[in-house]
Structure 1
């Protein structure tokens, strides 16, 4: 099967129900199907199909998602591209990725000449939403094409996804995955989410990344995805109330801001069934606060561009149970249990030995959605697939009940005085303070210890805390070795286009001119 089969199933069962609404206009399933068909036929007529790559550069909107359906239906591979990347970064991804077709929103029209000049493979640049001087409109590109359902066979093992990794440590790698990646992710979410009625998904996070996976998972159920072009906290609350939103995916940082919003209680959020978090762990105290404010709607998942999403899932019921039962409160640190779309998931030491429950090591896995390789990087491919497993780069463990805990990223480990210190443990303690909205812990140069622990803190608006107060909290919970030697307060934290805190940028401020970023 192919990922678009679930959309066509939804169109067959719910032709008059809205598939997409909000930014970009309203499209019923039938209207979206007909447009996707014309896009697919246009792509094939222009010689684009299996083996070719397309990308979409747009804020969240209905036409952007419909283009994804049409191009995928033509057999093309989707290259995810983020609107919030730099122009140079996106030129690099398109160029290294040898992308054939770019579908863009008129708001970025001025960038198109740069893409045409810098990306030799780019044969088509199509404007999604308007007549534009830098490329034909989508309507023009599809003009004269039939709207009948394509019946081309698209093999499951054909090239289906070219994923740009998060890039939190530098230039993003480009994964090469077959159609299993998208299909299994779609299936995984369909298994994990059980809406009481046809879902209404508020697409706030970029549909070019994990937000798109959540939207795709609604199709077979006849769900509506309400598109929001940018994060607007009050607009989110208003839309939940007016559209009776049931499902929403947000990175932790936006959830924290939403919980701190002064008008949160002014809106009716009772329709919400699932508030999904991923990309980084949610602080346990914020989960408790969220359930108190929004009800038992919090769930978490773990996924990777290299391997699929969701690989693990912590349901709303499990999360609420952990909040209510002190004996299970530790599970609030978990990203859940292995989902059915993963063949095997284990913990491995540096020598390739599989470890048992409660033993800490690198999380490794096997799944049908695992990428084939990194584009043009056999060394990195061999490294991530050593010992016959996909190495996630995440340090963690599995408890005896099957719950997975990610204790940190392997690359973020601090080595101070010969001891390994994992920032997430310290960040979790800091996040328990009511004045802390977000934080990051990094290693900074220290003549005696090599690296010293530093915390960079973003305070909740209207709240105050001193460095001494936060240090004492850490000392009480963690002891002296893990207590930050210094705490700085910043007005904002640098983030990737998908909301992850960029620790490399924080470290850079303290390691500048040293020629390396470890002690």
Structure 2
């Protein structure tokens, strides 16, 4: 069983049911399937073959859903990309993934074109609007007249998509999933969250993220649910559409919840149709969760603590758990996923003892694409080592206390300190640098740089920011910059970030 089979069954079951709503465009399941088939057949007619990689650099839209499904139907392997990437990051992913086609929003066309000049494997660029560059084509021109379901055999073991994570060594890693892994994750989510065929999803977080893509879009299409897609996050539009479309399933990152609670007209709207509220992608404090529970007047909140490599799967906190354990990541793994905390020697921890969270199950990634050493380091004896450190209380609830890989989560986006450090180390006036996360009431954490200038150098903060903007996505740029004479290191030269965090005193907000 795979997404294509079940989606096409849903088309036969309820062809006139609304599948996707995006701005002024609405698709029934029958109309969506015809549109998807036209693009799928058009891609095959243009030479795209089963197993080839197709990159998507698109904001949330109907075009994203159509392109994703079209590629899945012909057996192409999807590479959804963060649309906030800069050229350096974009070039690495396009080359490392072996992509042969890029489908993008028009606003990203010129950046992609300048990037692919050194990537001969890419044969086509398709844009969602009129192309600005000769030789590129619109998505409409890629449509075939053939509306039939493509006759491409798909095995459960065929690869489906590569989801890139932030890298700990300066480059991201592509988590590879086949159909059976994605299907297992969807089944686990559907069972655990209690989805049914009458769900109405609203899509706010970016669809290139594993959370929004799998927890909401593919799982909803698997069931035959209705999807209301927002291109950008706007609190007023969110409240309006929850009421207008009687949304039943709501997922957002903590910064979005904060913005909704701060919206001045939040009390004007009826949100009682929402049966479950879920949050994830970044930690959410107990006070934040309780404020949401109070405002939305429901106890049906779910904490989803997972990671891309897990499908995303991990552990979850149920509504019942929220009544007494708000702030915990949860007690048990997602359906079909085992979870436990272990010490460095592999022993399972006792209550109160800190250990690494590890996961096992059919939801876990197949591998890091073309990275055998990183795969072997992360997948050991059938278990996915997450790098997250936590402890269980006497009742078995898990509390995450640190991230062993020094990942910073800012506004739901993952930032690895090593990547930012590597960029700043390239600045001619910097002798040493460390990146840490510091608390922020709006973003959860912000990137903070502690810099040791070269002797006799005075660094201009404005020039440093301009340098960063050329080499880093906006969310990775340090918001706080501190200058020190030296950084705390041990005898072997290893940076002691725990001491750095102790000496850095930046008041939140």
CA contact (8 A) 2:306 2:314 kept: yes
How far apart are the structure 1 equivalents of 2:240 and 2:159?
A: 40
1:121-136 to 2 correspondences below 5 Å: 121-130=121-130, 133-134=133-134, 135-136=136-137
Structure 2 residue 301 is matched with structure 1 residue 298:
yes
How far apart are the structure 1 equivalents of 2:388 and 2:273?
A: 35
How far apart are the structure 2 equivalents of 1:87 and 1:345?
A: 37
Structure 2 residue 386 is matched with structure 1 residue 408:
no
Secondary structure at 1:122 match in 2: coil
Secondary structure at 1:7 match in 2: helix
Aligned residues: 441
Q: Out of 493, 496, 500, which is 1:518 matched to?
A: 496
Superposed displacement of residue 127, structure 1: 1.7
Secondary structure at 1:240 match in 2: helix
1:488-507 to 2 correspondences below 5 Å: 505=478
CA contact (8 A) 1:50 1:158 kept: no
Secondary structure at 1:411 match in 2: coil
Residue in structure 2 matched with residue 466 of structure 1 by the alignment: none
Secondary structure at 1:254 match in 2: helix
1:260-409 to 2 correspondences below 5 Å: 260-296=262-298, 297-319=300-322, 322=323, 328=324, 330-342=325-337, 344-399=338-393, 401-409=395-403
Q: 1:149 to 1:404 in 2, by over 3 A?
A: farther
How far apart are the structure 1 equivalents of 2:307 and 2:151?
A: 31
How far apart are the structure 1 equivalents of 2:480 and 2:371?
A: 26
Secondary structure at 2:186 match in 1: helix
Residue in structure 1 matched with residue 503 of structure 2 by the alignment: none
Deviates more, 1:348-357 or 1:152-161: 348-357
Residue in structure 1 matched with residue 139 of structure 2 by the alignment: 138
Residue in structure 2 matched with residue 85 of structure 1 by the alignment: 85
CA contact (8 A) 2:197 2:224 kept: no
Superposed displacement of residue 309, structure 1: 2.0
Query: Where does structure 1 differ by over 6 angstroms across 4 or more consecutive aligned residues?
Result: 452-455
How far apart are the structure 2 equivalents of 1:26 and 1:102?
A: 25
What runs of 5+ residues in structure 1 fail to find an aligned partner? 323-327, 414-422, 428-439, 443-451, 462-493
Q: 1:12 to 1:367 in 2, by over 3 A?
A: same
Q: 1:169 to 1:266 in 2, by over 3 A?
A: farther
How far apart are the structure 2 equivalents of 1:512 and 1:317?
A: 51
Q: 1:386 to 1:203 in 2, by over 3 A?
A: same
CA offset digits 1:6-25 (Å, max 9, x no partner): 32232222211221112472
Superposed displacement of residue 255, structure 1: 1.2
What runs of 5+ residues in structure 2 fail to find an aligned partner? 418-433, 444-467, 488-492, 498-509
Q: 1:510 to 1:371 in 2, by over 3 A?
A: farther
Superposed displacement of residue 391, structure 1: 0.5
1:1-40 to 2 correspondences below 5 Å: 1-23=1-23, 25-40=25-40
Q: What is the aligned-residue RMSD (CA, Å)? A: 3.4
Secondary structure at 1:153 match in 2: coil
Q: 1:113 to 1:26 in 2, by over 3 A?
A: same
Superposed displacement of residue 251, structure 1: 1.0
1:211-250 to 2 correspondences below 5 Å: 211-213=212-214, 214-250=216-252
CA contact (8 A) 1:314 1:336 kept: yes
Secondary structure at 1:249 match in 2: strand
How far apart are the structure 2 equivalents of 1:27 and 1:291?
A: 33
